[in-house]
Structure formats: C-alpha cells, structure tokens
Structure 1
Amino acid sequence: MKIKKLLFLTLSLMTLLSLFLSGCTVGPRLPEPRFNQGSKVYDTNGKLITTLFKEKRTTVKLKEVSPITRQAIIAVEDSRFYQHHGISFTGIARAAWKNLRAGEVIEGGSTITQQTAKNLFLGNERTFSRKFLEFWYAIQLERKYSKDEILEMYLNQIYFGEGAYGIEEAAQTYFGKPASQLDLAESAMLAGLPKAPSKYSPFVNWQAAKNRQKIVLGRMVETKVINQTQADEAYREELHLNSNRKPASRAPYFINEIVKYVTDKYEDGAKLLYTGGLKIETTLDLEAQKAAETAFLKRLQSRDPDLEGGLVALDPKTGYVLAMVGGKDYATSKFNRALQALRQPGSAFKPFVYTAALEQGYTAATTLTCEPVEFRTNSGIYKPTDFGSQQYHYRPFTLKEAVTVSDNVIAVKLAGQVGPQNAVDVAKKMGINSSLRPYISIALGTSEVNPLEMAAAYAAFANGGFRIKPVFVKKITDSQGRVLEKNLPSRTRVLDEKIAYIMTDMLKSVVQPGGTASIVSSILPRPAAGKTGTTQNYADAWFVGYTPELVAAVYIGYDNNRKSVGSTGGRLAAPIWAEFAARALKDRPVQDFPKPPGVVEKTICADTGLLATPYSEKTIKAFFIQGTEPTQYCPIHGGLTENPPFGGKQQEEKNVEDFFQMPRRFPRGRKFLEWFFNQAF
C-alpha cells in the first residue's frame, strides 16, 4: 500500500511538472473561493451559547506587514518560497525522509502556495484526488499571481488562534499593535502559531510558545535572515501580551475547551471550526452555568483580588459537564483552574481511604482512637496531628464520626491499616488520573489533583458505584447534516452499590450540624453529601459535594501557591458549592439517594461503635451491609438484662430500637427505668 501511494504521488508530480513546463492549460480552472460559515455551539437543552466565525479578520496589503514578520513566516513555513514554482520537490523529499525515519507524520511538505490553494478552494478530506487538485491549483496560482500577491493572500487568511485570522488580526490580538509595527521577537512568536494555534498560544502555555519561538528564530538563522546574536537578543526580549482581549460572551472557559477539542482532534480543525458551519451540541447547561458563575463571583468579590479558583459540575449518571468556571475573569486570565490547576486536595481525599477500608471489611461503626502515633517513612518519622489547637482528642471515634469532623489522625491510622497503595488504587479506579504518591500521608491529600477529576471520582458515590467519563461534546454535525461524531455516556462498575451508599451516608453527616461543612444544610434544603479540604497553612480550600442529580468540585487558592487563603474549605469553598447547587436545582424535585437492597440501618453508641441503649449519651445512625452490623449493645452505657421482663429478650431489643425511632421528648441520658415504665404501663 505504501509503495502504491509513493508511485501515485511520484507520477502525479511528474505529470504536473511536465504540464507546467509545457505551458499546458488543460485541467480544472481555479474555482471561486469557498464561502465561510460560522459554527454554532449549543447547550444540552438546545440553547445557542455562541457562534464561532471566521470574520475576525482585517485584510492588509503586503507592504503593511513588517518585513521581519514576512521573513519569519517564510523561514519556518517555506524557506524556498521565492525559488520554487508552487511545489517544492526538495521539501516533499525532506519531509518524506523525516516522516519515514520517525515512523509517523511529523512534517509536511506543503509550500505556502499549496497551503493558500487548499485554504481557498479545497476541503480537509485526505484523498489522492484532493492532493492532486492541491498541486494543480498551486501551479495555477503561480501562473496567475506574483509571489508577493500569493504571500499577501496567505498572510491574510492563515489562522493564528484566539479566533484571529490573518496577520493583522493576530498582531492586534496578541500584542495590541498593527502588523506593520511587529519586531523580531513578536514576529517569531506569531510565525510559530499556525502549526498548532491552541498548543503554542502564549495565552495558554507560555513555555510552549517560547519554545516554538526559539525554533522559528533558529530557522531564521539557518536561512541567514538574521544572525545568532540577533536571535538570542530576540529570545530574551520581554514580550507584553495584549490584556484587552474580549472573551466569549457566555461560558468562556467551557467554550475555549470546545475550541481546543475541535482544533486538536480534526485535521485543519481551526478552519473547520471557524468556516465549516458545524453544529456542536455540548453538555453544558446554561442555567447551571449561570448559577455557578453567580455563586462563585458573589462569594469571592469581597476578598483579595488575586484570590482565584475553579468550579466544575457534572451529571453523576452521564458524566456530562454541566457547568465550568475556570477563574474570576477570562479576559484577565485564560488559565482554566477547573482543569489545569493541580493542587493538593487536603481532606477531600479522605473518602477514598474510607472506601478502601469498607472494601476490606471495616464498617461505619469501626472505632479507632485519636491519640499520638508515628510512622517510620523513607524521609524520617511522620507524626500526624489534628487540625486546630487541639492536636489529639484522646478518645475513640467511629469511622462515621471521624469523617464528620474530618479527624486527621484517624484517617492516617486507617490509611496505615488498609495500605496507602490500596487507597490510591481506589482513587484511580473511581476517576483520579493524576499521579498519586502512595505515602502514608496520602490520607490527607498530599498528591496533586485537579477539580474535574475530583468531581468525576465522587460521582461514583452519587450514582451507586459507577465510574463515569467526563463528556463535553455530545454531537457534532457538519454543514451538510452529516454526523462527524456522537459521544454517549460511558459507565463502568467500580464500587459495590452498598459501599457507595454507606460512604454517601457518612458524607451526608459532613454537611449536617456538627460536620465540617454544616453551613451547606442552611443553604441547600435537600439531601446532599460531600467533603471539605483544607491544605497545610491554609494554602488551598476545597469542597467536593453531590446530590443524586449533581456532583461538583470547588477549589479556591492562589495561582502562585505562595499565599494563604485564610480560611477553611468548610467556610470558603462549601458555601460556594451550596449556593451553586441551590440555584442550579431550584426547579428540580427533591430526591434522596436510593438505598440498595442488603443495607440495614442501626443506631450505635458513638463511644464504642456497638448498638446504642437508652443510656448512651451520644448516638449515631449508621448503615451497614447486612450481616456486618453490630449485634451487641454498648456495655458501658447499660446493656440488656439477662432475664428481661415483659416479652423476653427479643421484645426488649425491639423496645430499645423503638426508643430511638420515637420523637425525642426528653434529653438522651434519662434513666432507662423511667422510659421503660412509661412504655410498659
């Protein structure tokens, strides 16, 4: 097959060369340029979010483009532009050799004339006939127009990213100046963009843009346009990017991800996106997006202007991304903290440790004591302590209560018992893709993650144990109505539904009175669960929470990671989450998490983890996989009698259970005989 392709290409080039040399005009004439159609982006309910179009362009004459800019683009795109006649056989041979050695396509052999012909007259399909026409039209362009005219067409049509078509719009977009005023450093950076605009954009990845600029400068040295000294000086020059860019009107961070998705996935994706008339059906819910932006900005507007963060919400059943806030102001910073901010999640990582424990046979009633403990590690002795002024509680905690108050010592001891690697494995299978270090401190979230993967992982708790894949695009259709792609929800069972439900019950307590995010219950009047996270020295604040219909992660912190947010996840991130969820779900009926078969509820004594008695001063309702629930009553707060009156032991057990189901008419701790006398007589 490869030999046939090479033979076809060789014969085509030889035929075209002979036709050109003979002056033959047989063949298709140059057609009229194709009309451009903008692409429309819709939300999950069919509402138009925005239209992405090509008309962000200002046409200029070649003389209005800085000479050094012209030289930079020619050097990196087609150094023999002024020597060949539309097709560079040397360039094709060089590219073929490099691709053959690399085992993949790493360089193209198209000339500036060929690229101009393709952009003006042809589509993106990869066929021999299209390539043949590209060769033919390139030759025709060279016959009809001068080199400078072809270069002018090329400079006015090429895509530079950020919606900027043409060198003039690119100069204004990136540097806020006309193309005639671009210097060597600016020209080299712009010349490097057409190869992969989203990848090399200085607004997105400054280091990648600088690396690409260096390559362009190197090509200019090789072609003797500049010398090495000039190249070095240009590379060191401090560039000032334009800070007055206008963002997309709605959901700018989300729309930017859609732009990157299409431009990176499809050949000539930028051209297809901005001129191909696509219909892009996304997963975004505009109402949820509005709720996210409102809650996020409302809670941060009175704080330090440099304080940033991100919020991302998904449907836990489908993985559809419903809302995304990447920062306070897209025009100021394009850095998408919902996807790109890798930060330690603190205690928000603890549920993965507790899930690993439940899988190993621990229950919500298992007790561990919060007291000094140390672990020998490769870096020395590690001694976990609790948050706040009291480093240890010096008392036993059930696992459920330890989750409620976010006890650090219990979480680390539990990680030591179940094994850090097992906790990492649970997090990975639930949806964490970032690298996790299996140290004992993993229980306190010491490995970096991003908000999207945290939200995706928590979805497995909300949906009954399924890992979901985050989805941004549901369907893309071209201008002819042909479906280019269709993405359906992807679900994989990773947790037993009973364990997912028990973890949800434990995490429900976090947002209730006594929990670290108790403020949630006062803002959101519906069943919800979640976990706070506060990193060392208050560097970052997190809350990851969910209802049956919605899962979302909120991260708050500084981009330089050097300043303290000055508050906890429960006080800073949790209110944002709660207000967002309340707004997003205000018209939805209240739902609770469905209890799966094989799960039983018991009232336990918080001190012992055993069944509570009327003497128990602090009790907790907890769920258990049937057969793992405690069967003994707490002995330190009064157990059952050996020869109970009034119906025997079974009746007395029922009386005790009934006691905890009845409305509380008197404080817990009142003597059992008083209660029993009233019940019996």
Structure 2
Amino acid sequence: MGTYTSNRDSERQGSWPPTGSSHPADAQSRVDFVSSDRFDDTPDLALGYAPLATSGVRPNKDQKLDDDAKAIRRGRMGGGFRLMLFSSFATLLLIFMLPLALGLPGKVDPWSIRSIANGDVNVTFLDGNGDLLAHRGYRQEETVPLSEMPPYLVQAVLAMEDRRFYRHWGVDILGVLRAAQANFAAGGIVEGGSTITQQLARNLYLDGSRTFTRKAQEAALAFWLEQQLTKDEILELYLNRIYLGAGAYGVEAASKVYFSKSVRELTVSEAALIAGLPKAPAQLSPAKDLPRAQDRAALVLEKLEETGWMTAAEIEAARAAPAIVELEERSPDIRASYFVDWVYSRMPLFVDGPPRELVVETTFDPELQRMGEEALAATFDGLRSNAKVDQGALVALDHNGAVKAMVGGRDYLESQFNRATQAIRQPGSAFKPLVYMAALQNGYTPYSGIVDRPVRINGWKPLNANRRYSGWMQMRNAIAYSVNTIAVRVGHKVGLDKVADYARASGITTPLPAHPSLALGAMGTRLYELTGSYVPLANGGYEAPAYGITRISNVEGDVLYERARNIIGAMPPPYRENNSGQEQVDEDAVMTPILNKVATTRDVQTMTKMLKRVISIGTGRRASLGAREAAGKTGTTNDNRDALFVGYTADLVAGVWMGNDNNSEMDRVYGGTLPATTWANFMTAAHEGKPKRKIYTPIWVAPHPSQYKEPEPVVEEVPMVEAPAVPNYAALRGKLNGLSSALAAAVPLEAPEPVRTRSRGMDRSVFRSRDD
C-alpha cells in the first residue's frame, strides 16, 4: 500500500493506496495514509468550516461583518450543538448495545447475497435472432476487485460519500455533526451523515424506510460489518453493489450501461460522473438527464481538488473533456426501449411468484426496427414548416401477430410515452375495413349498391370529407374513396353489435360505443391493436392478437412460459387406447383449430381485393409499392387531429400514426399523405430483396397422421362384357330435316328501333378533391 508525499508549497500528487487484498500485508502504510498531513493540510471539512487565516493579513470590513454574522449564528446554535453532542453519545451507546438487542442478520455472510436489488426482477431480453437486446430490472455484472478499479474512481467516491472512511468504525460521529450543522443552517435536509459502511448495511440487509428503528439497525449493522470485514473489503463490496441508476448495480454495470466498457477503462471525467450518482441515482442518471449528471460530475472534481488527491492539471484536463454518454450508439437497448417497455409490462400476465432472474425471448427484429425509425425520421426531416405535427408511431407485425418493430415516438430519451401501445386515439376511416368485413359476413358483396346521399340517424348527420355526394355506387368503390355516408349506412343496416363483435374478435380491446359514429372510427383504440386487427385479413381469417414474447425461462434454463406454435391448420383429437391397447378412434370428435377463425378465407380475400383498390385508385395512392401487391386503408379524424395508414403485404402488416400529443389540429395532414408515404418507405425497405408474392397463394397443410382413415378393403369384381348397342340415327335425321324446312318457310322478323337508356353509373368527378 503506497503513501502520499506532501509539499505545502507545491502541487500535491499521489496514488490511491488500496490493494484490494483481504488483509494488506503492510498495515503500517495504511496508518501512514490516514494519519498523514494530507488530511491535516486540507480544510477541516468534517466540522464544516475552514480555520481562519493567521498570516498577518488583516481582514477587511466586509470580512469582519461576515465573521460577526457567523459568530451570532454560532451563538444561536449553541443549544443545538449541545443537543447534537448528546445525540452523538447516545448513538455510540446504541452501536454497542443494539447488536445484542436486535441480533445479527439472517445472512451473516455479505458475499453470499447475490444482489442488493431486493424485491426486483432482473430480466435479460433477447431479440428474434437470439441476440442480446436489453436489460430491465436490475443489472449486475462481475465483481471487480478493488485493486483493478481506477484509483481516481475510488478517490472520487470517497470524496463524495465518506472522506473519513478509513478513520471511523462504521458510524462517523464527526460526519453526523457536520450533516446536522448543515441541515440546521439550511432549515432542511441538505446533507446526510451515513457512512459507506452504513449505506452497505442498509442495501444488504434493510429496506428503504426512514424510521428511527431502521436507522438504529443500520448503525448496529455497520459496526458489526466493521468487525467482520476489512476496510478494503467493505469498500469493494460497496462499489460492486451500490445502485447507480438505469437499473445498474455496481460500478462495472454502470460503466457498461453508460459507456459500453469495463470500469477498468474509465477516464477521470467518466469516473467522476459515476461517482456523483449514489446520492440520487434515479434523478442524476445520465440516461435521464445528461446535463444534470455532468454538473454533478463537475462537483465531484471540485471535491477531488479540495482533498488534494489529484493534481490541478489532472482536474483541469477532466473538466475540459466532460463525459459524454452516447446512449443511442452504445447498443440496441435504446432503439428497442419502446418495445422492451411494452413487453416488460406484460410479463406479469405469464409468470408470477417471487422475484428472480429471467431470460425473455422476444419477436423483435432489430433491422426492421432500424428501418421503421429511419422511415419516420425521414418524414419529419422533410416536413413542411406549417404542417403542425410533432409526433408519430409505427408498428410492424408478421402474419401470426408477432411484433417485429415498434416505434413509439420520435425520441425515446425525450419522451418514454409509447404512442403505439399507450396512446388511445381515434382510428378514423382506418376502422372501416372492420365495418365492411361485418357486412361481407352478413350477405353484402363488393358489388352491392348503396346510395351516397345525406343521412341522419337519431339527430346525428355525418358528412363526407369533401362535403359532396355521388349517388349510387358499389361498396368496393365506397371503401376505395372512403365515403363516410355509405359506411354509416352499411354499419346501421348490418348492426353495430355485429360490427363490434367482429372488431373484438379481430383484436380490438378498447370500448366500442353503440353509436352510429362507430362506423367512422369515432372511438379510441391503440395503434398496435388496430394494426393487429388487419392481420386476419392478411393470413386467411385466423385470429392473431399482437404479441412480443415467445418464451420466458429462468437462468437455470427452466421454461416458465412458452407461446404455442401458431400453425394454420387443425389439431387432431387426443390419442386414446382401449383396454386392448389399440387406438380408440372417436368418429364424432371435432378437430380443434390452433388459431380461431374470425372470418372465412373467402371474405378476407374479398376484402383484400377491395383494399388493394384503395392503393391503386383510392385515397392511399401514395402507399403504392409498385409491382409488389399491397392492400391498406387510410384514416383521418375530425379537424385532422389524427392521421393513419394501415396495410399489409404477403410478408408483413404495418400501421403508421401521426399527430400531436396535445391532440391539436394538424394542417392538411391526412392518412393518405404523410402516414401513407412513411408506410411505403418502410415497407419498401423491409421487402428489399424479397420475392414479389401475391398476398394469397394456395397453401396446403399436411394433415396429422391420425387424420388419415385406413381405407376399406377393395374386392375386385370382374365386370360382365356386354355387346355395345347400335345407335338409331334414322329418327334424329327425320326431325332435323323437318326443322330445316320450317325455318326456310318462315317470314323474317324486322329489327326493332334501338332504345336509348341512361346508364346507372357512378359520378367519379366527386372524388377529385377527396383525401380520405
């Protein structure tokens, strides 16, 4: 263990003495360190003031007035100091007596406690490829020996948390007095008196309650820890277990989270940033507020300069290069944060029991996530200045409902609110495919004729987007041009209860009011649920609610939850045997589908043809993918408060929402403009290099062997050979000759005058100004 050299007339320099060994060989060196004039030369910060200068320079008038004010304040605080002195002696008595009264903790070995994150769950998330995606709950890395940590990191922690660490027995009476004086002068709690040993005892064995009993237990345990462990061991345990924000426990985990490197590689400024976190890790975390964390790191450097443990040149170099936390570039954690937050919140639905370390395998695709973020960012980068839109969201799912990408907003660091899963906004006309699906299930066809004209239901009168009416039209054109009055008529005639039933079956869980405006999407829903309701239209009519978790297991490999395989097909009845050991076949058994059918394949194929026209001739032309087949629907709510586009291909289903968090109006932003463009950009990138497939192609699913019935034995019979009958053509020839003579003798008919009739067609001119 090294010692510091002192020179009062020159810059001081030294190195951190701990070796990390459980019992240092050179005990005298520690005595030299803690009793050296390094502490005597620095201001007596433990008492909260610096000695007055006695160099012969007389203080000026202002200094004298300041000294008088301090003297008056000391006089007022005399009684307070006597009370604090009495409390200090009482605390010492408690330290020696409470271990006997309270007993030792259940786990006497501090090293046997795996984590100080009591009551939390440590979850490691893997993406769809099995690669590390993110951590949630607490994160704890390997234990790093004290001797391998940078000396300046240890110095910085001691300077901020417990400068007299090597000079007290677990409870620092001088530190308690200093904190009491500072709190009394400030009229509130501005400084704590807990030592590093007390903090370690609290984190290892106690909860976070602020009661006298808990403080007494903390003091007793701190004294007990000082008897069980050396100072170096206590400091090493503390640095490897203390919470440092962003779910990181210990300096190694914090270094990995904030700087993507081991604690052994930290610079002085990075070490100062980490050393400033223990006081309030949740508020000071650079993941939450980097400028505030940097200000705290500057304070750490000031404390280091006061102690003299580092030279002024080293401090200035650290100040000139403050630590930068590049969270967006360090790992896919930030990119996946919206998705991981959503999955983490749903975990209690699948596992319960005591806290544990878990591994969660997800459906997440990092490449699709990157493409979704880039598509949304490109839209906002090219936004016209007066568009008045500040937020957007995107969700992508496969045909089984697996969430592949989720962009919950423009910037996770600025706002953790997930607009794809938490925001409940109106879908507008993007809800109409569910209305028309209910119509197809109840006898309507794409060619059913409906009249586009003003309609009034119970005093409510909906209007079209362009305030015009086109008269009679087919239902396939009504959805292509997003005609409001026809959607309302169809929903009213089919029945709003049937519309709501299909919407719930397809994945909508938010309340669906029994009001005619339901047909226009005048209710709240979440983007990921709305996008998921289009999945049955893409996969043949099978139920496929959005999901993000495929398997949950513990660190030992035991599977706690696993999602069943979603196979388009049917599950055979259970295998049974009779008393003779032969298979017992139940002829009346019903084959159970693994995925429930919410619509017939014929109906969803018909709807897909209708939604293809939305992109080819209707309101969603900007969502065209060229030669690749795509179907989708635009949506715009009243006063342009929400704009959406949801669509699908043979490979992917995606939805885009744009709007403002305060629900304010946008300026000429419709579902067929910015959302459709964003959707097209994302889908084009996501399908790069993939074959251009039709959305519906014949798929044959091999049946289970138990579905085959053994054929009945065939008895071959030799048919009798009969002589073929001779056809009789004489009678037929006579009839034909008679018919020919009759036609030759007939008088020819005169052609009637042509009758001009008015075509019952649709006036397409009314759609020229329609956006949605």
Matched, 1:364 2:446: yes
Q: 1:179-226 deviations in whole A, cap 9, x for unaligned? A: 9999xxx979869x9xxxxxxx999xxxxxxxxxxxxxxxxxxxxxxx
Contact 2:245 2:281 in 1 (8 A): no
The structure 2 residue matched to 1:407, chosen from 452, 464, 483, is: 483
Change (3 A) 1:435 1:69: farther
**For residue 217 of structure 1, what is the aligned residue in structure 2?**
none
Matched, 1:516 2:619: yes
Matched, 1:246 2:246: no
Once the two structures are TM-superposed, the CA of residue 452 in structure 1 deviates from its matched residue by: 0.3
- In the alignment, the residues of structure 1 paired with residue 274 and residue 104 of structure 2 have an alpha-carbon distance, to the nearest angstrom, of 39
Q: Within 5 Å, give how 1:318-333 maps onto structure 2.
A: 318-333=400-415
- In the alignment, the residues of structure 2 paired with residue 453 and residue 306 of structure 1 have an alpha-carbon distance, to the nearest angstrom, of 23
The structure 2 residue matched to 1:449, chosen from 491, 505, 525, is: 525
**Secondary structure of the equivalent of 2:464?**
coil
Once the two structures are TM-superposed, the CA of residue 418 in structure 1 deviates from its matched residue by: 1.6
Q: 1:312-341 deviations in whole A, cap 9, x for unaligned? A: 00012x221111111222222222211122
Once the two structures are TM-superposed, the CA of residue 401 in structure 1 deviates from its matched residue by: 0.8
**Secondary structure of the equivalent of 1:292?**
helix
Change (3 A) 1:511 1:82: same
Once the two structures are TM-superposed, the CA of residue 402 in structure 1 deviates from its matched residue by: 0.4
Q: Within 5 Å, give how 1:384-533 maps onto structure 2.
A: 384-388=462-466, 390-393=467-470, 395-489=471-565, 491-512=595-616, 514-521=617-624, 523-533=625-635
AA at the equivalent of 1:535? T
- In the alignment, the residues of structure 2 paired with residue 22 and residue 384 of structure 1 have an alpha-carbon distance, to the nearest angstrom, of 74
Contact 1:508 1:530 in 2 (8 A): yes
Q: 1:464-503 deviations in whole A, cap 9, x for unaligned? A: 1112132212234444433343233563221122212111
- In the alignment, the residues of structure 2 paired with residue 161 and residue 270 of structure 1 have an alpha-carbon distance, to the nearest angstrom, of 23
Matched, 1:77 2:208: yes
**For residue 395 of structure 2, what is the aligned residue in structure 1?**
312
Once the two structures are TM-superposed, the CA of residue 535 in structure 1 deviates from its matched residue by: 1.1
Contact 1:360 1:418 in 2 (8 A): yes
Once the two structures are TM-superposed, the CA of residue 254 in structure 1 deviates from its matched residue by: 3.2
- In the alignment, the residues of structure 2 paired with residue 403 and residue 180 of structure 1 have an alpha-carbon distance, to the nearest angstrom, of 61
Once the two structures are TM-superposed, the CA of residue 344 in structure 1 deviates from its matched residue by: 0.8
Matched, 1:162 2:246: yes
Q: 1:248-280 deviations in whole A, cap 9, x for unaligned? A: 7336353354356448747999985xxx5x654
**For residue 585 of structure 2, what is the aligned residue in structure 1?**
none
- In the alignment, the residues of structure 2 paired with residue 574 and residue 163 of structure 1 have an alpha-carbon distance, to the nearest angstrom, of 38
AA at the equivalent of 2:161? E
- In the alignment, the residues of structure 1 paired with residue 668 and residue 502 of structure 2 have an alpha-carbon distance, to the nearest angstrom, of 31
RMSD over equivalenced CA pairs, Å:
5.0
More off after superposition, 399-408 vs 68-77: 68-77
Change (3 A) 1:567 1:261: closer
Contact 1:251 1:289 in 2 (8 A): no
Contact 1:308 1:556 in 2 (8 A): yes
Change (3 A) 1:145 1:596: same
Once the two structures are TM-superposed, the CA of residue 419 in structure 1 deviates from its matched residue by: 2.1
Contact 1:312 1:451 in 2 (8 A): yes
Matched, 1:375 2:457: yes
**For residue 103 of structure 1, what is the aligned residue in structure 2?**
none
AA at the equivalent of 2:405? A
Contact 2:510 2:525 in 1 (8 A): yes
Matched, 1:296 2:376: yes
- In the alignment, the residues of structure 2 paired with residue 178 and residue 402 of structure 1 have an alpha-carbon distance, to the nearest angstrom, of 61
The structure 2 residue matched to 1:282, chosen from 331, 353, 362, is: 362
The structure 1 residue matched to 2:642, chosen from 532, 540, 545, is: 540
Once the two structures are TM-superposed, the CA of residue 438 in structure 1 deviates from its matched residue by: 2.0
Contact 1:310 1:327 in 2 (8 A): yes
- Tell which structure's C-alpha radius of gyration is larger: 2
TM-score normalised to structure 1 length = 0.58
AA at the equivalent of 1:507? L
Among all aligned residue pairs of Structure 1 and Structure 2, give the percentage whose two residues are the same amino acid.
33
Change (3 A) 1:46 1:355: same
Contact 2:491 2:516 in 1 (8 A): yes
AA at the equivalent of 1:385? L
**For residue 605 of structure 1, what is the aligned residue in structure 2?**
none
- In the alignment, the residues of structure 2 paired with residue 269 and residue 159 of structure 1 have an alpha-carbon distance, to the nearest angstrom, of 24
AA at the equivalent of 1:505? K
Q: Within 5 Å, give how 1:112-127 maps onto structure 2.
A: none
- In the alignment, the residues of structure 1 paired with residue 505 and residue 106 of structure 2 have an alpha-carbon distance, to the nearest angstrom, of 62
Once the two structures are TM-superposed, the CA of residue 79 in structure 1 deviates from its matched residue by: 3.3
Once the two structures are TM-superposed, the CA of residue 565 in structure 1 deviates from its matched residue by: 4.6
- In the alignment, the residues of structure 2 paired with residue 270 and residue 558 of structure 1 have an alpha-carbon distance, to the nearest angstrom, of 41
Q: 1:213-241 deviations in whole A, cap 9, x for unaligned? A: xxxxxxxxxxxxxxxxxxxxxxxxxxxxx
Once the two structures are TM-superposed, the CA of residue 70 in structure 1 deviates from its matched residue by: 5.8
User: Which ranges in structure 1 are unaligned for 5 or more consecutive residues?
Assistant: 1-17, 87-111, 115-136, 194-200, 204-242, 598-668, 670-681
Once the two structures are TM-superposed, the CA of residue 40 in structure 1 deviates from its matched residue by: 5.6
AA at the equivalent of 2:468? Q
Change (3 A) 1:159 1:28: closer
Change (3 A) 1:70 1:507: farther
Once the two structures are TM-superposed, the CA of residue 142 in structure 1 deviates from its matched residue by: 9.4
Q: 1:340-389 deviations in whole A, cap 9, x for unaligned? A: 2211111001111111111221111111111111111xxxx21111112x
- In the alignment, the residues of structure 2 paired with residue 468 and residue 306 of structure 1 have an alpha-carbon distance, to the nearest angstrom, of 32
Contact 1:339 1:451 in 2 (8 A): yes
**Secondary structure of the equivalent of 2:396?**
strand
Q: 1:563-618 deviations in whole A, cap 9, x for unaligned? A: 31522111111121122112112222222133789xxxxxxxxxxxxxxxxxxxxx
User: Which ranges in structure 2 are unaligned for 5 or more consecutive residues?
Assistant: 1-97, 145-152, 163-178, 180-188, 259-269, 290-323, 567-594, 700-760, 762-772
**For residue 89 of structure 1, what is the aligned residue in structure 2?**
none
**Secondary structure of the equivalent of 1:382?**
coil
AA at the equivalent of 2:462? P
Q: 1:388-440 deviations in whole A, cap 9, x for unaligned? A: 2x4222x1111111011111111111112122232122111110111222210
**For residue 129 of structure 2, what is the aligned residue in structure 1?**
45
- In the alignment, the residues of structure 2 paired with residue 24 and residue 558 of structure 1 have an alpha-carbon distance, to the nearest angstrom, of 57
Once the two structures are TM-superposed, the CA of residue 457 in structure 1 deviates from its matched residue by: 0.7
**Secondary structure of the equivalent of 1:252?**
coil
Contact 1:85 1:142 in 2 (8 A): no
- In the alignment, the residues of structure 2 paired with residue 452 and residue 460 of structure 1 have an alpha-carbon distance, to the nearest angstrom, of 14
Change (3 A) 1:438 1:138: farther
Change (3 A) 1:139 1:256: farther
Contact 2:246 2:282 in 1 (8 A): no
**For residue 682 of structure 2, what is the aligned residue in structure 1?**
580
Change (3 A) 1:69 1:426: farther
- In the alignment, the residues of structure 1 paired with residue 465 and residue 364 of structure 2 have an alpha-carbon distance, to the nearest angstrom, of 38
Matched, 1:348 2:430: yes
Contact 2:491 2:499 in 1 (8 A): yes
Once the two structures are TM-superposed, the CA of residue 23 in structure 1 deviates from its matched residue by: 7.9
- In the alignment, the residues of structure 2 paired with residue 249 and residue 442 of structure 1 have an alpha-carbon distance, to the nearest angstrom, of 43
**Secondary structure of the equivalent of 1:581?**
helix
Contact 1:30 1:140 in 2 (8 A): no
Q: Within 5 Å, give how 1:130-149 maps onto structure 2.
A: 144=228
Contact 1:253 1:324 in 2 (8 A): no
